């Protein structure tokens, strides 16, 4: 094992897959000359040249669609967005074309493409640059959505995504590119569709994903200090959802708190709450709780940012509530 | 410092066969042989016959909606004839049926599509065509990507993408044109300027006097042609394809034509178009002028036309029978084409034939009793 930064893990994944498969290439804004807005494509232009590492015009819709076309004709594009917030412009191509081409062509044209980039809040980026898009895209049949939390998943999941024959959306975070973690020396893949139990416990299950898991872990530590052991499940893949792992955990803990860094309405937490009450109702000893960011455009001022996001104390309290601990 | 001109441009307009069927022999040189013109003329007539039949099918409740191609056959045929089957790609919108058939798509597929069956877009292996694309303008970007992929893979093919004048107002159009020229992709942007975006005339869609001049801003070779003139369309298409195949990058062709019918069967163009205008364009019909030309050359006569009309009828019946005779799709088709590899949760839905809105039981999901 060796320690790498998240951004290095992303670059390694792309590099290894580009070495392995000639049809893989990277395109996006500032990915070549500049090595990526967050340096997640460092060294790739030097190694693979401008034919396979392509700086595109500033046109998210355009280069996403051109990626779709290239994927229909034998290539495996990796499309980097400077942020998923800019990719709203590309939503037509992701939702209406990448996700539906296989169905619209009666199974003739699959679209093996990866869309990746940072997602969610990242400090004082203000309302238009602070949104999470997992729930929006995970509601679209034909897409797969993954949110790697550590460098280990950032590399292994991205490699799996590049080899996948369907469109895969990879949600990273500006706040995680500098995170360090251990990864194996040799090649490995992290399968799409499998949740990860990050901490075992018997008193309550917390389901979460992405950057806010840092807050969840802090809450789990605080609870452990009070003798409450929570089981923390990182979804890792948002669609297809690994319901088995969640239900198995609830059978043990009988309690569920969902923590999600996104707006609450029609969210991933709503979906999980539905599925759990449908498939594990008899195992629940308390109503499911969920914590999301505030149901408002995201704040700009630092003090308001903290207020708009679930904090450690909020999670501790929610767990105590469902565990009926005073 | 004096004021100087940094850039100026003109747009050429090519016309070879006029509306009276008179050919400009000089310009027609090295375009189409007599045999080719005869073949393509018959193709155009058959396509017109099928188009009229499709309209009737819709009116009699045997088809959902249908956009007639009437009047635009020369634009479709002249351009597609210049492309190589099995090598070049056609990336259509929805008003160039004749081009698709010419490029190898079985004729009943398009009817099947408009009857509301995805299998109409289940393009056979080896036929380089993408599904009909109804959202306006999105396909031009796919064509750019498809042709770019060929360039990157070293395949000597080009992609021709079809769209109307209305689509050039979309951002997609400009992003495709920009990318294609920056990357010098082998893409032919073929605009069928039929003067109307449903009920909005061209002069209320754009302030530019031609559509073609939009290409100039992207440094792309562009030309206007009489879109009802088979020779002119073929010549411009062939030149653009040859240039693209030789590494010369993308081109833009504006085929000036006219939608003789309604936008679709859900439209009634009499409400917003001047009948005098429509009548003038009826006189420029691409089939009528080609027939006049062939008759004047002694290559065609009434007897041959009668024979062709009979053959056309038989072909149309056969095509309609093929489209209507197809067995209903299996219910599992709902799930089979969502992912290349079906994920477990969808496999459960497929097995139980129930969607999440209907809700599987824990037993069906395999979670109960564990």
Residue B300: its pLDDT value, please?
98
- Positions of chain A with pLDDT under 50: none
**Does B177 lie in the same domain as B209?**
yes
- Please indicate whether, in this complex, the C-beta atoms of B148 and A251 are within 8 angstroms of each other: no
- The half-sphere exposure of A178 on its side-chain side, counting CA atoms within 13 A, is 3
Same domain, A49 and A149: yes
Q: How many domains does chain A have?
A: 2
Q: How large is the average pLDDT for residues B165-191?
A: 97
Residues A40 and A162 in one domain: yes
The angle that helices B73-81 and B230-245 make with each other, rounded to 10 degrees, is: 30
Considering A8, A60, A134, A271, which one is annotated as catalytic?
A60
Q: Which residues of B touch A74 (CB under 8 A)?
A: 149, 153
Rounded to 5°, the CA angle A196-A202-A205 comes to 50
User: Is the predicted pLDDT of residue B370 greater than 60, yes or no?
Assistant: no
Q: Are B230 and B289 within one domain? A: yes
Query: How many angstroms separate the CA of residue A4 from the nearest CA in chain B?
Result: 31
Residue of B nearest to A100 (CA): B338
**Average predicted confidence (pLDDT) for chain B:** 94
C-alpha distances in angstroms, B80 versus A213, B97, B128, B230, B290? 56, 10, 12, 11, 17
Is A104's CB within 8 Å of B131's CB? yes
> In this model, does residue B354 exceed pLDDT 70?
no
Same domain, B349 and B227: no
Rg for chain B, CA atoms, rounded: 23
pLDDT in tens, A112-139: 999 999 999 998 999 999 999 999 999 9
Q: Do A166 and B131 touch (CB under 8 A)?
A: no
For residues B191 and B272, membership in a common domain is answered with: yes
Given an 8 Å threshold on Cβ–Cβ distance, is B171 in contact with A61? yes
Whether B60 and B85 map to the same domain: the answer is yes
Do residues A140 and A201 both lie within one domain?
no
Residues B223 and B347 occupy one common structural domain: no
pLDDT on residue B351: 83
Indicate yes or no: CB of B343 within 8 angstroms of CB of A247: no
- Provide the residue range defining the domain that includes A291: 196-323
Q: Are residues A213 and A169 in the same domain?
A: no
Average pLDDT over every residue of B22-41 = 97
Looking at CA atoms only, how far is residue A121 from chain B in angstroms?
28
pLDDT computed for residue B344 by the predictor: 87
* Contact residues on chain A for B141, CB-CB shorter than 8 A: 61-62, 65-66, 68-69, 93
Q: Is A97 inside a domain boundary? A: yes
Same domain, A52 and A131: yes
Residues A156 and A232 in one domain: no
Where is pLDDT greater, at B346 or A291? Answer: A291
Residues of chain B with pLDDT > 90: what percent?
Answer: 89
- The residues that bridge with B190 in the sheet, in sequence order, are B162, B253
Q: Looking at the complex, does the CB of residue A21 fall below 8 Å from at least one CB of chain B? A: no
- pLDDT for B319: 96
Rounded to an integer, the average pLDDT of B37-45 is: 97
Number of domain units in chain B: 2
* Best to test chain A binding among B91, B113, B152 (most A CBs inside 10 Å): B152
Q: What are the phi and psi torsion angles at B223 (to 5°)?
A: -150, 150
Mean pLDDT across B109-128:
94
pLDDT tier, B369 (very low <50, low <70, confident <90, very high otherwise): very low
- Is A319 within the bounds of a domain? yes
> A residues 166-225 near B, CB within 8 Å?
166, 193
Which residues on chain B are in Cβ contact (under 8 Å) with A68? 141-142, 145
Q: Are residues A56 and A172 in the same domain?
A: yes
pLDDT digits (tens, 9 = 90+) for B43-98: 999 999 999 999 999 999 999 999 999 999 999 999 999 999 999 999 999 999 99
CATH number at residue B206: 3.40.50.970
Do A77 and A10 lie in one domain? The reply is yes
B209 and B341 fall within a common domain: no
Q: Are residues A138 and A216 in the same domain?
A: no
Which of A155, A183, A211 is at the close of a domain? A183
Domain identity same for A225 and A167: no
CATH classification at residue A152: 3.40.50.970
B263 catalytic? Reply is yes
State the DSSP code for B214.
Answer: G
Say whether both A25 and A151 belong to one domain.
yes
**B142 contact residues in A (CB cutoff 8 A):** 65-66, 68-69, 72, 97
Which chain B residues are closer than 8 Å to A278 by Cβ?
359, 362
Q: Are residues B205 and B349 in the same domain?
A: no
Q: What would the mean pLDDT of B173-199 be, rounded to a whole number?
A: 97
Is position A129 annotated as part of the catalytic site? yes
Q: Is A216 within the bounds of a domain?
A: yes
To test the contact with chain A by mutation, choose from B149, B173, B326 the residue with the greatest count of A C-beta atoms within 10 A, namely B149
In this structure, are B288 and B317 located in the same domain? yes
Specify if B6 maps to a domain. Answer: no
Do residues B196 and B344 share a domain? no
Between A99 and B330, the higher pLDDT residue = A99
Percent pLDDT > 90 in chain A is 99
Q: What predicted TM-score, i.e. pTM, was given to this entire model?
A: 0.93
Tens of pLDDT along B238-286? 999 999 999 999 999 999 999 999 999 999 999 999 999 999 999 999 9
For residue B207 the two structure tokens come to 């302030």
Q: Do A137 and A73 share a domain, yes or no?
A: yes
CA distance, residue A244 to nearest chain B CA (Å) = 7
pLDDT of amino acid B362: 72
Give the model's pLDDT for residue B332: 84
Instruction: Give the A:B interface size as CB pairs under 8 Å.
Output: 155
Domain containing A212 — which CATH number? 3.40.50.920
Domain-located, residue A189: no
Determine, for residues A108 and B123 on separate chains, whether the beta-carbon distance falls below 8 Å: yes
Q: Are B127 and B120 in contact (CB under 8 A)?
A: no
- pLDDT at position B304, please? 98
Residue A262 included in any domain:
yes
For residue B356, pLDDT over 60 is answered with no
Could you list the residue range(s) of the whole structural domain that residue B86 is in? 13-324
- Say if A33 falls within a structural domain: yes
| Edge-to-edge order in the sheet of strand B89-91 | B13-14, B222-226, B251-256, B187-193, B159-164, B89-91
Task: With respect to residue B301, please indicate whether it lies within any of the assigned structural domains.
Answer: yes
């Amino acid at each position: 094992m060796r320690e790498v930064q998240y951004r290095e893990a992303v670059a390694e994944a792309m590099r290894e897959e580009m070495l392995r498969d000639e049809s893989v290439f990277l395109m996006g804004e500032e990915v070549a000359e500049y090595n990526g807005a967050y340096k997640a494509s460092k060294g790739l232009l030097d190694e693979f040249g401008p034919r396979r590492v392509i700086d595109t015009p500033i046109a998210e819709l355009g280069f996403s669609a051109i990626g779709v076309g290239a994927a229909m004709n034998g290539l495996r594009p990796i499309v980097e967005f400077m942020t998923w917030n800019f990719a709203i412009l590309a939503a037509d191509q992701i939702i209406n074309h990448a996700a539906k081409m296989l169905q619209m062509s009666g199974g003739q044209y699959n679209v093996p493409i990866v869309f990746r980039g940072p997602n969610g809040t990242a400090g004082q980026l203000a309302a238009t640059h602070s949104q999470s898009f997992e729930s929006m895209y995970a509601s679209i049949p034909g897409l797969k959505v993954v949110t790697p939390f550590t460098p280990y998943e950032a590399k292994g999941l991205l490699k799996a995504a590049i080899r996948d024959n369907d469109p895969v959306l990879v949600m990273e975070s500006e706040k995680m590119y500098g995170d360090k973690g251990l990864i194996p020396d040799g090649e490995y893949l992290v399968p799409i569709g499998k949740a990860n139990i990050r901490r075992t416990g018997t008193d309550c299950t917390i389901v979460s994903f992405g950057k806010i898991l840092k807050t969840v872990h802090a809450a789990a530590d605080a609870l452990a200090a009070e003798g409450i052991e929570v089981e923390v499940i990182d979804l890792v893949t948002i669609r297809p959802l690994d319901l088995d792992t969640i239900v198995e955990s609830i059978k043990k803990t009988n309690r569920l708190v969902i923590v999600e860094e996104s707006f609450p309405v029609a969210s991933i937490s709503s979906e999980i709450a539905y599925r759990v009450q449908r498939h594990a109702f008899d195992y629940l000893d308390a109503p499911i709780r969920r914590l999301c960011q505030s149901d408002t455009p995201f704040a700009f001022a630092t003090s308001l940012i903290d207020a708009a996001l679930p904090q450690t104390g909020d999670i501790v309290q929610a767990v105590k509530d469902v565990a009926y601990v005073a | 410092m004096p004021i100087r001109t940094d850039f100026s441009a003109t747009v050429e307009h090519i016309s070879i066969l006029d509306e009276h069927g008179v050919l400009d022999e000089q310009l027609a040189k090295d375009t189409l042989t007599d045999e080719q013109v005869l073949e393509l003329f018959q193709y155009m007539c058959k396509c017109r016959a099928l188009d009229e039949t499709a309209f009737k099918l819709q009116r009699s409740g045997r088809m959902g909606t249908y956009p007639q191609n009437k009047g635009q056959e020369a634009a479709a045929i002249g351009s597609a004839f210049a492309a190589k089957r099995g090598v070049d790609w056609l990336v259509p919108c929805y008003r160039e049926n004749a081009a698709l058939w010419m490029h190898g798509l079985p004729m009943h597929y398009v009817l099947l599509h408009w009857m509301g069956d995805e299998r109409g877009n289940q393009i056979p292996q080896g036929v380089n065509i993408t599904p009909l694309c109804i959202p306006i303008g999105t396909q031009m970007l796919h064509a750019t990507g498809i042709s770019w992929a060929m360039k990157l893979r070293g395949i000597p093919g080009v992609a021709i993408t079809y769209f109307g004048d209305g689509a050039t107002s979309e951002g997609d159009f400009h992003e495709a044109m920009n990318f294609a020229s920056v990357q010098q992709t082998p893409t032919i942007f073929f605009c069928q300027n039929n003067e109307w975006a449903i009920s909005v005339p061209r002069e209320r869609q754009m302030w530019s006097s031609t559509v073609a001049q939009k290409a100039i801003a992207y440094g792309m070779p562009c030309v206007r042609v009489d879109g009802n003139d088979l020779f002119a369309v073929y010549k411009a298409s062939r030149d653009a394809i040859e240039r693209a195949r030789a590494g010369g990058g993308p081109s833009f062709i504006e085929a000036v034509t006219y939608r003789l019918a309604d936008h679709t069967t859900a439209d009634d163009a009499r409400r917003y178009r001047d009948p005098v205008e429509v009548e003038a364009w009826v006189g420029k019909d691409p089939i009528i002028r080609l027939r006049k030309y062939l008759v004047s050359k002694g290559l065609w006569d009434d007897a041959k036309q009668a024979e062709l009309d009979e053959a056309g009828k038989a072909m149309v019946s056969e095509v309609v029978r093929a489209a209507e005779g197809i067995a209903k799709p299996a219910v599992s088709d709902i799930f089979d084409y969502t992912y290349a590899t079906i994920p477990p949760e969808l496999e459960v839905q497929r097995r139980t034939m129930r969607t999440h809105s209907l809700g599987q039981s824990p037993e069906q999901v395999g979670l109960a009793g564990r």
